[in-house]
Amino acid sequence: MVKPNTLRIGHRYRDNRLNGPYDALVIGSGMGGLAAAALLSELGRRVAVLEQHYTAGGATHSYERAGYEWDVGVHYIGDMGTRTSLRRMMDFLTQGRLEWAPMDAHYDRFFIGDRIYDAVAGRAAFRDNLVAHFPRQAGAIDRYIELMDEVARGMRAFSLERTLPPWAAAIAGPWLRRRLPPCFGRTTWEVLSEITDDRELIAVLTGQWGDMGLPPKRSAFLFQALIAKHYLHGGSYPVGGAWRIADTILPRIRAAGGEVFTYARVEEILVRNGGVRGVRMADGHEIECAW
């Protein structure tokens, strides 16, 4: 008989365990839901996160079988080995409670026929390793790294347009779109085949295409560049297991009087007077929120 999993994050939902009134309700405890709840909590809001699964964390949760611990989604995460905005955000959400262990410098390996290529952590090491394998393609490799940076800079304008109020986006949108690099609207194959005709180099550069779910001829170069840049300084793993990500975010939510409830199935979002005013749970209980 399989024993119940002991790696459980959150508090099992019962209507008598609610500690309202709540300022906000978040449906789902994946990283988006937990991050939103933690940021609202930092602003002094009391938040209830409602998760229908037996544990919080979404794709970051873990489970136990036969004395071993398994992660369901996290294998490694980039941008944790340097003081990037993502690392600073993660440290903020977890209040510095979560530690990260760096993987080996050769963090990815690609097999093409009987040939083996590694992705090596660090901008210079990444570049030099590729040039060692493809000495005639040094210019193409340098251009690829430049394109990563161009996409990263372009994302600032791309994101800004989508976060501005509609009236401001209508004014600033044309100017912001002119700041986007031409590669933004093209496929990975189109961009890379212009900087090199070496198909094996293209295969190595796109070796992580599984992270996007689409092959190079169908994927947007925008995502190819962002993922490659995300891992440019290697991969890291959360010390203690992937479940520790949700486990270390939860205290920030509780500090403001909120909670993460599991086995909490939402049946209906309640709308009154043109605004969301709460939810109806599977047990019929209604939970109200301010907004």
Model pLDDT for residues 120-129, shown as the tens digit of each residue: 999 999 999 9
Q: Is the pLDDT of residue 290 over 80?
A: yes
pLDDT at residue 2, rounded to an integer: 42
111 and 222 co-located in one domain: yes
Amino acid identity of residue 205, one-letter, is L
Q: Is the pLDDT of residue 3 over 70?
A: no
Structure confidence by residue, pLDDT tens digits, 11-53 = 999 999 999 899 999 999 999 999 999 999 999 999 999 999 9
Q: Does the residue 6 lie in any domain?
A: no
pLDDT at residue 1, rounded to an integer: 41
Are 164 and 172 within 8 A, CB to CB?
A: yes
Higher pLDDT, 259 or 272: 259
Q: Does the residue 164 lie in any domain?
A: yes
Q: Is the pLDDT of residue 146 over 60?
A: yes
Who's near 96: CB < 8 A, 6+ residues apart? none
Q: Does the residue 165 lie in any domain?
A: yes
195 and 257 co-located in one domain: no
* pTM for the model: 0.84
Print the domain residue range for 164.
Answer: 104-233
In whole angstroms, what is the distance from residue 53 CA to residue 45 CA?
A: 24
In whole angstroms, what is the distance from residue 289 CA to residue 266 CA?
A: 14
pLDDT at residue 7, rounded to an integer: 78
pLDDT at residue 5, rounded to an integer: 59
pLDDT at residue 252, rounded to an integer: 96
In whole angstroms, what is the distance from residue 71 CA to residue 242 CA?
A: 6
28 and 91 co-located in one domain: yes
131 and 219 co-located in one domain: yes
Are 61 and 35 within 8 A, CB to CB?
A: no
76 and 110 co-located in one domain: no
Q: Does the residue 2 lie in any domain?
A: no
**Boundary (domain end) residue, out of 233, 252, 273:** 233
Rg (the chain; Cα; Å): 23
Q: Does the residue 89 lie in any domain?
A: yes
Please report the DSSP string for 56-102 in residue order: S-GGG-EEEETTEEEESS-S-EES-SS--HHHHHHHHHTTT---EEE
282 and 244 co-located in one domain: yes
149 and 229 co-located in one domain: yes
The percentage of residues in the chain with a pLDDT greater than 70, rounded to a whole number, is 98
Structure confidence by residue, pLDDT tens digits, 72-92 = 988 889 999 878 888 999 999
Q: Does the residue 25 lie in any domain?
A: yes
Q: Does the residue 249 lie in any domain?
A: yes
| CA proximity to 93, closest of 33, 45, 35, 10 | 35
CATH code at position 76 = 3.50.50.60
186 and 221 co-located in one domain: yes
Are 147 and 176 within 8 A, CB to CB?
A: no
38 and 142 co-located in one domain: no
Q: Does the residue 181 lie in any domain?
A: yes
218 and 112 co-located in one domain: yes
In the chain, the number of structural domains is: 2
262 and 212 co-located in one domain: no
178 and 137 co-located in one domain: yes
